[in-house]
């Protein structure tokens, strides 16, 4: 038996793996219920059109078809909710109906469903539905959508503006720019990304006519929130009559947080037909109508002194929200982006203006990093452009402007909660040292003389995670429609085996391992005696789910509250069992002993037995060790670090080769280093991919070009170098573990590091900025243009 | 329904050393047959058009995308799926190595990745880094576990050669 206090901090192998590695996990599409029927969805092929009529008669007569539903049939279902409006400003809210009946506003808008005996038949019958569309003009670019004469999506949102939101001090910022020695301006496009979890989304609805209860299996990162939203806002069913279950979920990256039409449709269809109904989207649907991420057009200006001090930052961003508001869409480019743009720098005056804009595209919502990657990209690109303008090394400019370690908690001036802790220069120094930055600069100089294009890029980032204190994020503050605490129940059964239930809902992060490590140490039991359950709203306490790198910082804290309560009760019972006074009973080496006589001891399993049998309990004590906690954090956490990317660009082909990638991250204390490294690896891959390859592309009239894995440039194994990871550790005092969160750091840091490296490589050609992705063709064109104009200049 | 039933044809499949007799529509893919008719759901559907490798199986010693194979054309092939790897003496060395090197996160692409590495090591017991990269280049992983997948392949080769 392994003893206590050995699990936290060690790279324990994941308890999830044996199931996944043998193919015996249970993902949504692996679930088969007796009598289950299959649903397929007809999506609009037009970006914008009026629906003049829908003829479903042929589909209804197709053999094997059980029912066809259109918007007329689902008129009793409310539009999907928007649960996070931009705080403090008016939002012109438009959310989708589960089936559109009068107008469609993007390619992918749902128009009708077929329920059939099997999925093949359901899909065959979709082709028999005739929809009479009257095409309307469409707009896909968020900046163009706000201009005079652009096609209008919603009556209540003139010029397609959903909301205008600001943060910071406009007057002081304007003054800083008037007085600045140097001003650098740049238009930056943070392109649309498509999350592309390997498992597509889906849902199974099962209605029990006897009890009036719905069970809905779903590929969700937040099943409790879905239960709440579907009950209270969409289906008008009492909340205690809906049970939501997230089985194993094959990746989400944000896209599975949200409330989708199919969740309501399978529930509706099941009630209509009296049979369970399954829907699983195919890959094309996943690209068309599961939410996208990013998509900002930003005008950024940075002001400073000739000696490299930043004195002001002014930002105006057009944030594309898509055709309607997804569940938490407006909160992303405001609270999570606008309030993070100053990054790791002490900037005396910052002003941010964000316009949330409707366009004829798929809804845009949180995608890994959610707002913070856009913020980090903005400030890290601008700092590099500023460094180039004043002729200083970008590392030195960063150093000169960092928030110093003795100035925490730090107020960044744009309304973010105070940054908890940070040693930004320490992480930068470590990254420079590990990557051999000075040597590379010398090598680069030599290479440039030979005409080779070597570049190095830095990204010193800070992010906000562990979201969030309810009083701050909630309706009176940042506009989030509920709280954002987290929950946990810990039970120790009669036999000493423990079960932890959590309101978080993992989908690849290894929570069952990390959480078991925490609990095993706290209870002094072997890890294999602790099982973590999640994802079923029946049997787990209400929780807000997994996103925003919050599950350990907030969910883990709730677990520790519960184990503390168990330990407190167990201590009382141990004293009773050992016939000692409570004050003399102490927790040592994973068991309770009596001070001064270590030979008399009781372990948690022994106490659990006594608590469960109840034969002899102290007066007034209830049987069983079973404690629930709801933990609302006092602050968010702010991980940080510096990534260094080294590249060589091929002058003849425009191709970028990643030569080295060094990441120094500070995520506070680490429970399982192996799992944290995996999260960082994955994050960096997605961040590098945005810089180099990925882009969700629509034609001007709103057709999705990147609608398959052939067209959307997901990185492959052969495209990436090995990453060199290192850590500094600056604990946070926000939670008892001192842990900050690691799920998104890599994605946030990597994108600007790569772009800065490529721009550094292209600097000798006078190329200042290119928008992502830095695909060979784009870089080659830029090189050709510069070479041509340089020849003309000669 | 009757007309559809009669359009089905009998097929005999050899999966993980067991014989299965099934009636399938001629258009039914091997992937659907495995998942829906035989209950072997370890083989995953991600793209259904041969872009991602999640549905990889080994057929007569070569990896194939089961979404691009019809059940009816799979008759006579010896097919291995993820369910057929672990034996009575425990996990296959490649499965062990994936756990040891933390080469999986959400697990959805994992069966395909594992089978691609198994097939590689059956053909080449000491592959170079480049050969490993090539072997899994048809298997997408959105969790970005690639560096650890490479390591797992190397570790698996070591485990297998020491046996």
Give the distance from residue A276's alpha carbon to the nearest chain B alpha carbon, in angstroms.
Answer: 16
Q: What is the mean pLDDT of chain A?
A: 97
CB pairs under 8 A between A and B: 162
Strand A213-218, strand A242-245: pairing: parallel
CA–CA separation, B70 vs B12, rounded Å?
13
User: Residues of A22-39 as b/e, b for ≥16 C-beta within 10 angstroms?
Assistant: bbebebbbbbeeeebbbb
In terms of pLDDT, which residue wins out, A675 or A6? Answer: A675
Tell me, yes or no, whether B1 lies in a domain: no
User: Is the CB of residue A1 less than 8 Å away from at least one CB of chain B?
Assistant: no
- pLDDT per position as a tens digit, A155-205: 999 999 999 999 999 999 999 999 999 999 999 999 999 999 999 999 999
Contact status, residue A752 vs residue A380, Cβ threshold 8 Å: yes
DSSP string, chain B: -HHHHHT-EEEEEEETTEEEEEEE-TT-BHHHIIIIIS--TTSPPSSSSSSS-TTEEEETTEEEETTSSBGGGGTT-EEE-GGGT-BTTBS-HHHHHHHHTT--SS-SSHHHHHHHHHHHHHH-SS--HHHHHHHTTT---TT--HHHHHHHHHHHHHHHHT-
Q: Is the pLDDT of residue B5 over 60?
A: no
Nearest CA in chain A to B53: A198
- Please tell me the predicted confidence (pLDDT) of residue B1: 41
- Please tell me the predicted confidence (pLDDT) of residue A4: 45
Residues of B in contact with A197 (CB under 8 A): 106, 108, 142
Looking at B49, B64, B84, which one is the last position of a domain?
B84
Q: Is the pLDDT of residue A258 over 50?
A: yes
Shared domain check, B79 and B35: yes
Q: Using omega within 30 degrees of 0 as the cis cutoff, is the peptide bond preceding A36 cis?
A: no
Shared domain check, B125 and B73: no
CA–CA separation, A122 vs A343, rounded Å?
50
Interchain proximity A283–B106, CB inside 8 Å:
no
Strand A277-280, strand A37-43: pairing: parallel
A455: closest CA among A688, A759, A769? A759
Sign of CA dihedral A637, A638, A641, A645: positive
Phi, psi (degrees; rounded to nearest 5) at A762: -85, -5
Shared domain check, B120 and B80: no
Tell me, yes or no, whether B63 lies in a domain: yes
Looking at B55, B84, B113, which one is the last position of a domain?
B84
Nearest CA in chain B to A680: B144
Residues of A in contact with B136 (CB under 8 A): 717
SS3 of A80, please? coil
Give the distance from residue A87's alpha carbon to the nearest chain B alpha carbon, in angstroms.
Answer: 32
For chain B, the farthest-separated pair of C-alpha atoms sits apart, in whole angstroms, at: 57
Phi, psi (degrees; rounded to nearest 5) at A660: -150, 150
Using the 8-state DSSP alphabet, how is residue A429 labeled?
H
CA–CA separation, A708 vs A700, rounded Å?
19
SS3 of A155, please? coil
Give the distance from residue A761's alpha carbon to the nearest chain B alpha carbon, in angstroms.
Answer: 26
Q: Which of B108, B127, B135, B156 to mutate to test binding with chain A, by most A CBs within 10 Å of its CB?
A: B108
Looking at B48, B66, B84, which one is the last position of a domain?
B84
Q: Across the interface, which of A710, A717, A720 has its CB nearest the CB of B51?
A: A710
A contact residues 699-718, partner B, Cβ 8 Å cutoff: 708-710, 714-718
Q: Where residue B20 sits, what CATH number does that domain have?
A: 3.10.20.30
Q: What is the mean pLDDT of chain B?
A: 95
At A794, the pLDDT band (50, 70, 90 cuts) reads low
- Please tell me the predicted confidence (pLDDT) of residue A721: 87
Residues of A in contact with B41 (CB under 8 A): 23, 27, 29-30
Q: Using omega within 30 degrees of 0 as the cis cutoff, is the peptide bond preceding A468 cis?
A: yes
Contact status, residue A590 vs residue A3, Cβ threshold 8 Å: yes
A530: closest CA among A542, A512, A546, A543? A512
Interchain proximity B133–A718, CB inside 8 Å:
yes
Residues of B in contact with A716 (CB under 8 A): 137, 140
Interchain proximity A709–B134, CB inside 8 Å:
no
Shared domain check, B112 and B75: no
- Please tell me the predicted confidence (pLDDT) of residue B7: 87
Q: What is the mean pLDDT of residues A428-447?
A: 98
Q: Is the pLDDT of residue A3 over 50?
A: no
Residues of B in contact with A196 (CB under 8 A): 142
User: Is the CB of residue A650 less than 8 Å away from at least one CB of chain B?
Assistant: no
Whole-structure pTM over 0.90, yes or no?
Answer: yes
Tell me, yes or no, whether B4 lies in a domain: no
Tell me, yes or no, whether B3 lies in a domain: no
Q: In angstroms, what CA-CA distances link B9 with A196, A203, B4, B12, B25?
A: 36, 31, 11, 10, 6
CA–CA separation, B108 vs A508, rounded Å?
9
Q: What is the mean pLDDT of residues B127-136?
A: 95
Residues of A in contact with B144 (CB under 8 A): 681-686, 715
Q: Is the pLDDT of residue A1 over 50?
A: no
Give the distance from residue A345's alpha carbon to the nearest chain B alpha carbon, in angstroms.
Answer: 30
Shared domain check, B58 and B119: no
Q: Which of A198, A221, A246, A721 to mutate to test binding with chain B, by most B CBs within 10 Å of its CB?
A: A198
- Please tell me the predicted confidence (pLDDT) of residue B3: 44
Interchain proximity B106–A720, CB inside 8 Å:
no
A693: closest CA among A754, A778, A774? A774
Residue B18 burial (CB count, 10 A): 9
Nearest CA in chain A to B143: A682
Q: What is the mean pLDDT of residues A504-531?
A: 97
CA–CA separation, B63 vs A174, rounded Å?
63
Q: Is the pLDDT of residue A445 over 90?
A: yes
Interchain proximity B46–A248, CB inside 8 Å:
no
Tell me, yes or no, whether B55 lies in a domain: yes
pLDDT exceeding 70 applies to what percent of chain A?
99
Q: Across the interface, which of A21, A197, A283 has its CB nearest the CB of B91?
A: A21
Nearest CA in chain B to A116: B1
CA A174 to chain centre: 33
Task: List the domain range (segments joined by +) for residue B108.
Answer: 93-161
Shared domain check, B98 and B76: no
SS3 of A294, please? strand
Q: Where residue B110 sits, what CATH number does that domain have?
A: 1.10.150.120
Question: Which class for A405: exposed (0-12), middle (13-18), buried (19 or more C-beta within 10 A)?
Answer: middle
User: Is the CB of residue A683 less than 8 Å away from at least one CB of chain B?
Assistant: yes
User: Is the CB of residue A598 less than 8 Å away from at least one CB of chain B?
Assistant: no
Contact status, residue B44 vs residue B65, Cβ threshold 8 Å: no
Give the distance from residue B75's alpha carbon to the nearest chain A alpha carbon, in angstroms.
Answer: 22
Helix axes A372-390, A394-401, angle to 10 degrees: 110
Residues of A in contact with B142 (CB under 8 A): 196-198, 251, 253, 686, 714
Q: What is the mean pLDDT of residues A16-27?
A: 97
Q: What is the mean pLDDT of residues A589-613?
A: 95
Nearest CA in chain B to A201: B46
User: Is the CB of residue A682 less than 8 Å away from at least one CB of chain B?
Assistant: yes
Interchain proximity B140–A714, CB inside 8 Å:
yes
Shared domain check, B110 and B47: no
A775: closest CA among A758, A787, A760, A750? A758
Residues of B in contact with A682 (CB under 8 A): 105, 143-145
Shared domain check, B77 and B103: no
DSSP string, B86-119: -BTTBS-HHHHHHHHTT--SS-SSHHHHHHHHHH
DSSP string, A450-471: TT-EEEEEEEEEE--BS---HH
Nearest CA in chain B to A15: B99
User: Is the CB of residue A249 less than 8 Å away from at least one CB of chain B?
Assistant: yes
- Please tell me the predicted confidence (pLDDT) of residue B6: 54
CA–CA separation, A455 vs A437, rounded Å?
11
Shared domain check, B156 and B104: yes
Shared domain check, B97 and B74: no
Domains along chain A? 17-23+485-631 (3.30.365.10), 36-136+195-289 (3.90.1170.50), 417-465+636-794 (3.30.365.10)
- Please tell me the predicted confidence (pLDDT) of residue A788: 84
- Please tell me the predicted confidence (pLDDT) of residue B2: 39
User: Residues of A187-218 as b/e, b for ≥16 C-beta within 10 angstroms?
Assistant: ebbbbbbbbbbbbbbbbbbbbeeeeebbbbbb
Return the CA Rg of chain A: 28
Shared domain check, B97 and B79: no
Give the distance from residue A708's alpha carbon to the nearest chain B alpha carbon, in angstroms.
Answer: 8
- pLDDT per position as a tens digit, B133-153: 999 999 999 999 999 999 999
- Please tell me the predicted confidence (pLDDT) of residue A791: 74
- pLDDT per position as a tens digit, B63-109: 999 999 999 999 999 999 999 999 888 999 999 999 999 999 999 99
A499: closest CA among A520, A471, A473, A524? A520
User: Is the CB of residue A283 less than 8 Å away from at least one CB of chain B?
Assistant: yes
Interchain proximity A681–B43, CB inside 8 Å:
no
- Please tell me the predicted confidence (pLDDT) of residue A159: 98
Residue A577 sits at the vertex; the CA angle it makes with A574 and A579, to the nearest 5 degrees, is 105
Shared domain check, B98 and B71: no
Tell me, yes or no, whether B29 lies in a domain: yes
- Residue A108's region, left for phi above 0, alpha for psi from -120 to 50, else beta, is left
Number of domains in chain B: 2
Give the distance from residue A689's alpha carbon to the nearest chain B alpha carbon, in angstroms.
Answer: 10
Contact status, residue A739 vs residue A727, Cβ threshold 8 Å: no
Sign of CA dihedral B89, B95, B97, B101: negative
- pLDDT per position as a tens digit, A391-428: 999 999 999 999 999 999 999 999 999 999 999 999 99
């Amino acid at each position: 038996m392994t003893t206590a206090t050995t699990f936290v901090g060690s790279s324990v192998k994941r308890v999830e793996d044996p199931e996944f590695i043998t193919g015996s996990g249970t993902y949504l599409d692996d679930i088969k219920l007796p009598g289950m029927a299959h649903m397929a969805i007809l999506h609009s092929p037009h970006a914008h059109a009026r629906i003049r009529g829908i003829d479903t008669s042929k589909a209804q007569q197709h053999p094997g078809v059980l029912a066809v539903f259109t918007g007329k049939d689902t008129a009793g279902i409310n539009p999907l909710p928007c649960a996070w409006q931009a705080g403090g400003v008016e939002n012109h809210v438009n959310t989708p109906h589960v089936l559109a009946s009068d107008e469609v506003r993007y390619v992918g808008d749902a128009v009708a469903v077929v329920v059939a005996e099997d999925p093949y038949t359901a899909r065959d019958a979709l082709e028999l539905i005739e929809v009479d569309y009257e095409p309307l003009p469409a707009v896909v670019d968020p900046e163009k959508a706000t201009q005079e004469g652009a096609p209008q999506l919603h009556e209540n949102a003139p010029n397609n503006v959903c909301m205008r939101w600001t943060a910071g001090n406009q007057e002081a910022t304007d003054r800083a720019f008037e007085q600045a020695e140097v001003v650098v301006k740049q238009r930056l496009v943070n392109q649309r990304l498509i999350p592309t979890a390997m498992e597509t989304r889906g849902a199974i609805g099962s209605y029990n006519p006897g009890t009036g209860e719905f069970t809905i299996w779903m590929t969700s990162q937040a099943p409790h929130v879905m239960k709440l939203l579907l009950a209270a806002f969409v289906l008008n069913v009492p909340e205690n009559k809906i049970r939501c279950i997230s089985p194993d979920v094959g990746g989400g990256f944000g896209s599975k947080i949200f409330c989708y039409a199919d969740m309501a449709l399978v529930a509706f269809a099941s009630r209509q037909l009296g049979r369970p109904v399954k829907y699983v989207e195919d890959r094309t649907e996943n690209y068309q109508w599961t939410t996208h991420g990013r998509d900002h057009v930003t005008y950024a200006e940075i002001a400073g002194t000739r000696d490299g001090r930043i004195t002001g930052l002014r930002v105006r961003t057009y944030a594309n929200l898509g055709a309607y508001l997804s569940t938490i869409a407006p909160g992303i480019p405001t609270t999570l982006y606008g309030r993070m743009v100053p990054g790791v720098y002490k900037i005396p005056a910052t002003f941010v203006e964000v316009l949330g804009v409707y366009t004829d595209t798929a809804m845009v919502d949180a995608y890994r990093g959610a707002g913070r990657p856009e913020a980090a990209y903005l400030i890290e690109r601008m700092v590099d452009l500023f460094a180039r303008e004043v002729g200083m090394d970008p590392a030195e400019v960063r150093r000169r402007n960092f928030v110093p370690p003795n100035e925490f908690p730090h107020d960044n001036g744009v309304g973010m909660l105070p940054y908890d802790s940070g040693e930004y220069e320490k992480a930068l120094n470590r990254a420079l040292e590990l990557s051999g930055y000075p040597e590379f600069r010398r090598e680069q100089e030599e290479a440039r003389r030979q005409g080779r294009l070597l570049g190095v890029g830095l990204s010193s980032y800070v992010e906000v995670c562990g979201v969030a204190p309810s009083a701050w994020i909630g309706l009176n503050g940042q506009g989030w429609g509920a709280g954002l605490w987290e929950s946990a129940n810990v039970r120790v059964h009669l036999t000493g085996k423990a079960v932890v239930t959590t309101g978080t809902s993992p989908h690849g992060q290894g929570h069952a391992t990390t959480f078991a490590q925490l609990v095993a140490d706290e209870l002094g039991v072997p890890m294999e005696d602790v099982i973590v359950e999640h994802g079923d709203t029946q049997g787990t306490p209400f929780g807000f789910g997994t996103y925003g790198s919050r599950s350990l910082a907030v969910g883990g804290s709730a677990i520790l509250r519960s184990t503390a309560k168990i330990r407190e009760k167990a201590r009382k019972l141990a004293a009773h069992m050992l016939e000692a006074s409570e004050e003399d009973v102490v927790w040592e080496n994973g068991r309770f002993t009596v001070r001064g006589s270590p030979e008399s001891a009781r372990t948690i399993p022994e106490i659990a037995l006594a608590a469960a049998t109840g034969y002899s309990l102290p007066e007034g004590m209830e049987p069983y060790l079973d404690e629930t906690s709801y933990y609302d954090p006092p602050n968010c956490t702010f991980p940080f670090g510096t990534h260094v990317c080294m590249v060589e660009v091929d002058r003849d082909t425009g191709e970028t080769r990643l030569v080295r990638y060094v990441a120094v991250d500070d995520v506070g204390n680490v429970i399982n280093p192996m799992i944290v490294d995996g999260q960082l690896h994955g994050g960096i891959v997605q961040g590098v991919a945005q810089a180099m390859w990925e882009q969700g592309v629509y034609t001007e009239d709103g057709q999705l070009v990147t609608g398959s894995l052939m067209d959307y440039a997901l990185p492959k194994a052969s495209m990436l170098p090995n990453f060199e990871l290192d850590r500094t550790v600056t604990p946070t005092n926000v939670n008892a573990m001192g842990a900050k969160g690691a799920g998104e750091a890599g994605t946030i840091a990597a994108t600007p590091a790569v772009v800065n490296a490529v721009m550094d490589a292209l600097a000798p050609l006078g190329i200042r900025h290119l928008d992502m992705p830095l695909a060979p063709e784009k870089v080659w064109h830029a090189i050709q243009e510069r070479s041509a104009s340089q020849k003309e200049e000669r | 329904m009757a007309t559809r039933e009669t359009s089905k044809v009998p097929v005999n499949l050899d999966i993980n050393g067991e014989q299965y007799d099934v009636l399938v529509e001629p258009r039914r893919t091997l992937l659907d047959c495995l998942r829906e008719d035989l209950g072997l759901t370890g083989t995953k559907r991600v793209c259904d058009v041969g872009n991602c490798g999640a549905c990889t199986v080994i057929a007569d010693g070569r990896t194939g995308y089961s979404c691009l194979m019809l059940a009816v054309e799979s008759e006579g092939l010896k097919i291995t799926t993820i369910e057929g790897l672990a034996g009575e003496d425990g996990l296959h060395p490649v499965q062990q190595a994936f756990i040891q090197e933390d080469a999986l996160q959400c697990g959805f692409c994992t069966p395909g990745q594992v089978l691609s590495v198994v097939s590689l090591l059956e053909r080449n017991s000491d592959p170079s880094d480049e050969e490993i990269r090539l072997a899994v280049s048809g298997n997408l992983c959105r969790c970005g576990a690639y560096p650890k997948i490479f390591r797992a392949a190397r570790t698996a080769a070591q485990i297998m050669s020491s046996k």
